[in-house]
């Protein structure tokens, strides 16, 4: 078993697999604890149906710096967003939870890859110092 397949590694604080998203993490990120570090999260996923351009453009109206982009490969999309979270797993779970919470935008999806970079919460922590996983 590789490190990245370790279920405990991917588990969010609610026991969900971060790669499947967690609506509780998403909802908590709506009212974040400002003492928690900020993560810059990127999620690459495939959608079972093409996502209309209007739906892509509407994502930013949900606020909180979410952006959804279509990549050049068919039905591969990139969702990026910022999340306050204690760890990278929770940050990823919250951003993918956005997809779970917005099934009208993305009906069914399969996460291909994720990245979480901890942004600087304080001057003594260099930006992008930690990359997760």
Structure letter (DSSP) for residue 111: E
The pair phi, psi for residue 28, each rounded to 5°, is -65, -30
Alpha carbon separation from 115 to 56, 57, 95, 107 (Å, rounded): 20, 22, 11, 22
Which x/- pattern, by CB under 5 A, does the window 69-108 give for Zn ion? ------------------------x---------------
The CA distance from 102 to 16, in Å, is 18
CB of 70 to Zn ion, least distance (A): 27
CB of 90 to Zn ion, least distance (A): 6
Token pair, residue 76, equals: 């591969």
The pair phi, psi for residue 39, each rounded to 5°, is -115, 140
CB of 107 to Zn ion, least distance (A): 22
Of the pair 22, 43, the CB lying nearest Zn ion is at 22
Interacting span for Zn ion (CB under 5 A) from 13-21, 79-87, 98-106, 121-129: 13-21
Interacting span for Zn ion (CB under 5 A) from 24-32, 57-65, 76-84, 111-119: 24-32
The residue from 10, 19, 21, 22 that contacts Zn ion (CB under 5 A) is 22
CB-CB contact of 120 with 84 (8 Å): no
Contact residues toward Zn ion (CB under 5 A) are: 12, 14, 16, 22, 24-25, 93
């Amino acid at each position: 078993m590789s490190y990245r397949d370790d279920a405990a590694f991917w588990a969010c604080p609610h026991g969900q697999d971060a790669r499947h998203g967690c609506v509780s993490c998403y909802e908590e990120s709506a009212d974040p604890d400002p003492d928690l570090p900020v993560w810059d999260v990127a999620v690459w996923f495939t959608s079972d149906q093409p996502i209309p351009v209007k739906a892509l453009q509407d994502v930013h109206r949900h606020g909180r710096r979410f952006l959804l982009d279509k990549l050049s490969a068919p039905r591969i999309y990139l969702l990026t967003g910022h999340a306050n979270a204690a760890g990278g797993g929770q940050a990823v779970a919250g951003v993918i939870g956005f997809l779970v919470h917005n099934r009208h935008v993305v009906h069914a999806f399969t996460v291909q890859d994720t990245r979480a970079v901890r942004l600087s919460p304080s001057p003594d922590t260099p930006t992008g110092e930690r990359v997760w996983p």
